[in-house]
Amino acid sequence: MLRTPSRLASTVLTLLLAAPVAAHAEDMPHPAPPAAPSAPSLGTDTLKPGKPAVKPYLAETATPDAVQILPSPPAHDAPLDKADRAAFASTRVLRGTPRWEIAANDVAEGASAVLENFACVLGTRIDQARVPAVIHLLERTRLDLARATRGPKVHYRRLRPFVGNEAPICVQRSQALADSFSYPSGHATQGWAYALILAALVPEKATPILVRGRAYGESRIVCGVHWLSDVVAGRLTGTSVFAALMGDPTFRADLEKARGELRAALAGAGTAPDQAACTREADALREPPLEF
């Protein structure tokens, strides 16, 4: 027989749902105290602190509703939950390996970091001063991605896999990270969406770009800061936002500007990435890191 929740339980639930939250896509406090400092909001330009940010491409009403699109995170002890826990446990042994080093490097996010991390598959280290349209495209898209991931992060408030244990992770543990929401992975969302954009800009390199985009998301599992299902949900969120962006005329116009600019940068006398590092990366990424 169903029981009506007590007045106390209803009050607690109301308070939890009304708790203030931070606006950053990846590290959203759980719950965020009103007086606590938060990550930069969508109204702040992280590249030029203090200056207003460029607006997202999509109107809020046009942003895909990831709460409706994504499945719920796996229930405790469900098959997918067991797969999540197996992925976390099996990847702890990668500490100290080249794959762990890649995961640590992939912690950096944003346009500049991703272009650097994709240098091996692009074949050139991009001089970012020469590609302002590419940087603008990716950073403005980042605002749309942040908006899309915010909803499910707040809705599900899922804890990260390292919470409650002492297993190694590839970043420094902090209370802010432990208290932030896990589902979906903002890094995986961003990395996959950026890979889709780069593949559209340089379609002849689409396969290695998308392989690297997948690995960028998997780095969050290797790092120990996201569940496998968080990363899968991030890819779906990134794909949803990219699909909506392709219907936006301003985004398409910026995409065309970036296409010519990136092609010119790749055809020019750019700096080749370190070949030994690229070989190590290719070897480390040849096999998926997950074992069950």
Q: Assess whether 220 carries a catalytic annotation.
A: yes
Q: Assess whether 106 carries a catalytic annotation.
A: no
Burial class (CB in 10 A: 0-12, 13-18, 19+), 275: exposed
pLDDT, tens digit (0-9, with 9 covering 90-100), for 92-149: 999 999 999 999 999 998 999 999 999 999 999 998 899 999 999 999 999 999 999 9
Quick one: tokens of 131? 């590609």
CB 150 within 8 A of CB 41: no
Q: Over pLDDT 90: what percentage of the chain?
A: 73
Q: What DSSP assignment string belongs to 7-53?
A: HHHHHHHHHHHH------SS---TTPPTTS-----TTB-SSSTTSBP
pLDDT, averaged across the chain: 84
Q: How many CA atoms lie within 13 A of 210 on its CB side?
A: 13
Q: Is the peptide bond before 33 cis (omega within 30 degrees of 0)?
A: no
pLDDT, tens digit (0-9, with 9 covering 90-100), for 136-192: 999 999 999 999 999 999 999 999 999 999 999 999 999 988 888 999 999 999 999
* Candidates 187, 212, 214, 235; catalytic one: 187
pLDDT score at 192: 98
pLDDT score at 268: 81
pLDDT greater than 60 at residue 79: yes
Q: How far apart are CA 218 and CA 187, in angstroms?
A: 10
Q: What DSSP assignment string belongs to 43-104?
A: TB-SSSTTSBPPPPSS-GGGS--HHHHSPPPPPTTSHHHHHHHHHHHHHGGGTTSHHHHHHH
Residue 269 amino acid letter: A
* Candidates 84, 106, 230, 254; catalytic one: 230
On whether the 7-285 domain is CATH 1.20.144.10, my answer is yes
| Owner of token pair 């749902």 | 17
More confident residue, 11 or 85: 85
pTM: 0.81
Q: How far apart are CA 183 and CA 234, in angstroms?
A: 8
Q: How far apart are CA 32 and CA 161, in angstroms?
A: 20
pLDDT, tens digit (0-9, with 9 covering 90-100), for 194-219: 999 999 999 999 999 999 999 999 99
More confident residue, 93 or 26: 93
Q: Assess whether 30 carries a catalytic annotation.
A: no
* Candidates 140, 214, 226, 235; catalytic one: 226
* Candidates 30, 150, 220, 235; catalytic one: 220
Q: How far apart are CA 114 and CA 127, in angstroms?
A: 13
